[in-house]
Chains A and B, each alone.
Chain A
Amino acid sequence: MRYRMNNPGVIQETLDGEAVIVNLLSGTYYSLDRAGGVIWNLLISGMSSEDILSQLESIFATDRATLAAAVGELTATLVQEELIVPLKEGTALADIAPAGVNVPASERLPFEKPVLHRYTDMQELLLLDPIHEVDERGWPHTNTPDSADQ
């Protein structure tokens, strides 16, 4: 299975290996650092699981089974959060936006199980919008207590 970022609703930037991911539709944002940032960027570049594991083996000082378990778990979480979606069969890698993978070239790094940090404290900004404050008649009728009498 290969994946792509679930854009245009999801946007991301990776700075010095740390990814900041924003879901514009839900108001939720996320961060992934260290191994998580690397895996995220490999995933959204459309690589196959096998290719991702091969890349990770060259970066992190741990065994393939540990990496496979971590990638599988993180992938499932990212799918559940609707941050990535499966790529259609036959999609060429060239069709995918470059993800800015920054793979360290020096000696292998210690591996820590990646954790997707999830933040919902901005959702209220999106919830304070007309969708939730307008009654079924739409503009200019708002959901005030006496709106049913209008």
Chain B
Amino acid sequence: MTLQPDVPPAYGRALGRAFGEATDTAGILRQWYRIGGERVCVQFAGRALLPLLTPALDHLSAVPGTASLTISAWDTYSTGVPPPPACWSKDDLLPRGEIRGYTDDLARLTWHPNPSVISFADMGTGDAVFWIDDARQTPYYESGSPFRSIFHWWFAQRGWQLLHAAAVGTAEGGVIIAGKGGSGKSNTALSCVGYLPYAADDYCVIAPGAQPFVHSLYGTAKLGNDDVPLYPHLADAIGNAERMADEKALLYLHQHRPQDMIPGFPLRAILVPRCTGQPNTTFGAASAAAALQALAPSTIFQLPGAGIAAFQLLSGLCSQVPCYYLNLGTDRSQIAPTIADILAGAR
């Protein structure tokens, strides 16, 4: 199926009209956020999605005003309003949820099934849409890192990059911790809570430049259930305790430990965690390529539309700041001081 040039924005307009119908039924609620100096508005048709998708962004709350990006979110179950009929077939479905014909830099769309979720953004107008079939089926990872694809497209248009990385540091400087899922990012970041301010455990934003700057995006953390007992002091931050048999633990750090969070910092180093099984935590130099290998594939493969531009940005980042292996020991109390040592040496 070949889509006509105007189809992507036309489908976006149809999504916008459907959102309007949903607000006619359920009313409209707006929240504002400030991300990297830019104001973002998220507007909801009804209340169903608001408590599921906004807590992760609470630490970025801002006063109302003109927004660079407006995300309109609704679900069909609570409003009775479906999205416009799809004008694509199975043959148009691409990896990462992308849809053939909707992959240019201005108008992007993804659809993921189970549960059915549409993300759309028209970067020409700064309008984006998030739709889910049934708000009650919102996955915990969507609550933990909402609107990820839309934010990724918006950041990319600004020359920024959403990273699959944890981030901790102080106002003077910090580190990102790169690696695939299960590599130790969350555990490393959470081991620092109370010692080094926390910006992210899974996704953060990098603004490149002469001094790259890391921005916090989500005030949450996710933990494998086996790791939860390692952090008894964070137990009150778990927001999905009753569903942990099927989900990772989702921690709302901003709500429970706001004093331990930081909105961002200059990037001083990139860390590649390695579990050693030894008691002590140590660090050693890593090549820029090793850091790129830890950072780029897991970032690119899960962000729709990410490709050569993201790869080159990440490559430049790995060449720009020192890179280290963080050899994680079993004595978790050593992790944060070791990162502080790295930061002290990197200043």
Contact = CB atoms under 8 A, between A and B. Distances in A.
Interface string A18-32: 111010110101010
A129 B112 contact: yes
8 contacts: A15-B288, A15-B292, A16-B288, A18-B288, A22-B300, A129-B93, A131-B95, A142-B114
Given A8-B308, A15-B318, A139-B86, A122 B297 contact: yes
Contacts of A139: 86, 88-90, 93, 111, 113
B298 interface: yes
The 3 closest A-B pairs by CB, nearest first: A18-B289, A138-B90, A13-B315
A130 B302 contact: no
A75 B308 CA distance: 23
Interface in A123-144: 125-126, 129-131, 133-134, 136-140, 142, 144
**Residue in B90, B111, B116, B287 whose Cβ sees the most chain A Cβ within 10 Å:** B90
Contacts of B293: 20, 29, 31, 119
Given A134-B90, A139-B86, A22 B311 contact: yes
Given A15-B288, A27-B301, A131-B93, 6 more contacts: A22-B296, A25-B95, A119-B297, A126-B301, A129-B93, A139-B113
B97 A129 contact: yes
Interface of B: 86, 88-91, 93-97, 111-114, 116, 180, 287-290, 292-293, 296-298, 300-302, 307-308, 311-312, 315, 318-319
Interface of A: 7-8, 11, 13-16, 18-20, 22, 24-25, 27, 29, 31, 33, 119, 121-122, 125-126, 129-131, 133-134, 136-140, 142, 144
A130 B97 contact: yes
Given A18-B287, A20-B292, A140-B116, A131 B297 contact: no
Given A15-B289, A20-B293, A121-B180, A126 B113 contact: no
Contacts of B113: 130, 133-134, 139-140, 142
A131 B180 contact: no
Contacts of B289: 13-16, 18-20, 31, 33
Contacts of B296: 13, 20, 22, 29
B292 to A, nearest CB: 5
A129 B94 CA distance: 8
Given A15-B288, A18-B287, A22-B300, A137 B96 contact: no
Contacts of A134: 90, 93, 113
B93 to A, nearest CB: 4
Contact of A125 (B89, B112, B288, B298): B298
Contacts of A29: 293, 296-297
Nearest to B289: A18
Contacts of A31: 289, 293
A137 B89 CA distance: 8
A119 B318 CA distance: 20
A125 B301 contact: yes
B96 A129 contact: yes
A59 to B, nearest CB: 18
A14 B292 CA distance: 10
A138 B93 contact: yes
Contacts of A13: 289, 292, 296, 311-312, 315
Contacts of B302: 125
Contacts of B298: 122, 125
